[in-house]
């Protein structure tokens, strides 16, 4: 009987002393054969106790190795891991997530079943606070996530991107590594290159992972501003999106700003803003009513934060990267660990 593929767990980290051990314990608890898995953590030169914790864990379990990530960006750290990975499959993990014990096994099964080059599960949100519960409700709405399939645990099939991802090694040998300067959106950018070259990305209902979303309006706005900037960078770098979805918040912001700044349109502005408030208010009632009446205003307030922060971030990204593009040639991985080359 053939052995299951060797798997590399790829986990970027920076100052994660409060989370890193819990996360790695969930990896160690996977039902996948322990001797067919390595756990590589790319640490961005943490200034807390993360490195000490990793040193202790690696002394207990030789499968665990810390990889230095001087650039500190997640994408760069993932590249450092891929270059030394021994796995036939590279399973990306995030420190702030909770993984079902079957997570790795389900990834391998989905790769076999689908024939895809990258597979992943839905981005299932999980809450600890009242704000997070309201945000989870908003993220279940098409108004919150723009109909992204990877946000729904009920969806399955070929998609444009997935949460995290489990990649066949050949992806990095033929399509290239992550964009090392990408601050956000590195997953979607890599998946878009993969699909552009004829590859497939598959979303599986059997791959189960939960994450905790931001716990305040401020943190949520900062997150979605960065998302917007990252998606603008991807658009300028690759010249297109696989769908119009990432553009919608930007177009909404441009439309709203036009109504407010162009005097001939001022008579139309109150009706347009009222329509937006009515639509988001009705949706807040629909998705938030299960949490109780007190949660509905919070859900309602989340929608404009998501839309405006993303749209403004996208506009800022267009200005920033049109003026000064920062991407370079694609880096490909050769067949052997630690060997790689750069091509244009």
Q: Where are the domains of the chain?
A: 7-215+327-343, 235-323
pLDDT > 90 fraction of the chain, expressed in percent and rounded: 83
Q: Which of 44-58, 115-129, 217-231, 329-343 has the lowest mean pLDDT?
A: 329-343
Query: Residue 329 — pLDDT band, cuts 50, 70, 90?
Result: confident
Give which of 20, 13, 164, 8 is closest to 84, Cα–Cα.
8
Q: How far apart are CA 237 and CA 249, in angstroms?
A: 20
Q: How far apart are CA 234 and CA 189, in angstroms?
A: 6
Q: How far apart are CA 27 and CA 92, in angstroms?
A: 12
- For residue 12, count CB atoms less than 10 angstroms from its CB and return exposed for 0-12, middle for 13-18, buried for 19 or more: buried
**Between 309 and 260, the higher pLDDT residue:** 309
State both tokens at 51: 């490195």
- pLDDT tens digits for 219-241? 999 999 999 999 999 999 999 87
Beta bridge partners of 343: 330
pLDDT at residue 1 is higher than 90: no
> Mean per-residue pLDDT for 51-78?
96
Cα 227 to chain centroid distance, Å, stands at 10
> Mean per-residue pLDDT for 316-338?
85
Residue that is written with structure tokens 């980290």 in the block: 13
Q: How far apart are CA 107 and CA 68, in angstroms?
A: 27
The pLDDT of residue 335 is 55
Looking at CATH, the fold of the domain delimited by 7-215+327-343 is given as Spore Coat Polysaccharide Biosynthesis Protein SpsA; Chain A (3.90.550)
Q: Model's pTM, two decimal places?
A: 0.89
Q: Do 41 and 21 meet the contact criterion of CB atoms below 8 Å apart?
A: no
């Amino acid at each position: 009987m053939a052995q299951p593929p060797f798997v590399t767990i790829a986990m970027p980290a920076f100052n994660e002393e409060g989370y890193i051990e819990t996360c790695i314990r969930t990896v160690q608890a996977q039902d996948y054969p322990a001797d067919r898995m390595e756990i590589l953590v790319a640490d961005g030169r943490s200034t807390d106790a993360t490195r000490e914790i990793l040193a202790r864990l690696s002394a207990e379990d030789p499968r665990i190795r810390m990889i230095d990530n001087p650039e500190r960006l997640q994408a760069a750290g993932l590249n450092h891991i891929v270059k030394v990975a021994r796995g036939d499959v590279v399973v990306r993990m995030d420190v702030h997530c909770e993984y079902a014990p079957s997570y790795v096994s389900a990834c391998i099964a989905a790769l076999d079943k689908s024939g895809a080059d990258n597979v992943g599960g839905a981005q299932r949100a999980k809450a600890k606070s009242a704000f997070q519960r309201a945000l989870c409700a908003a993220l279940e709405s098409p108004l919150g996530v723009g109909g992204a399939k990877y946000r729904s645990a009920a969806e399955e099939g070929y998609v444009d991107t997935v949460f995290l991802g489990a990649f066949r090694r050949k992806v990095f040998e033929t399509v290239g590594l992550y964009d090392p300067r990408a601050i956000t959106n590195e997953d979607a950018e890599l998946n878009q290159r993969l699909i552009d070259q004829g590859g497939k990305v598959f979303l599986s209902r059997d791959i189960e992972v939960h994450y905790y979303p931001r716990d305040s309006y401020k943190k949520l706005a900062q997150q979605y501003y960065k998302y917007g900037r990252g998606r603008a960078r991807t658009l300028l770098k690759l010249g297109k999106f696989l769908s119009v979805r990432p553009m919608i918040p930007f177009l909404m912001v441009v439309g709203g700003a036009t109504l407010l700044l162009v005097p001939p349109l001022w008579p139309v502005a109150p009706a347009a803003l009222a329509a937006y408030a009515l639509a988001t208010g009705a949706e807040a009632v629909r998705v938030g009513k299960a949490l109780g009446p007190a949660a509905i205003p919070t859900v309602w307030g989340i929608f404009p934060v998501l839309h405006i922060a993303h749209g403004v971030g996208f506009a800022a990204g267009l200005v920033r990267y049109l003026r000064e593009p920062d991407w370079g040639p694609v880096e490909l991985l050769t067949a052997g660990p630690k060997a790689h080359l750069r091509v244009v």
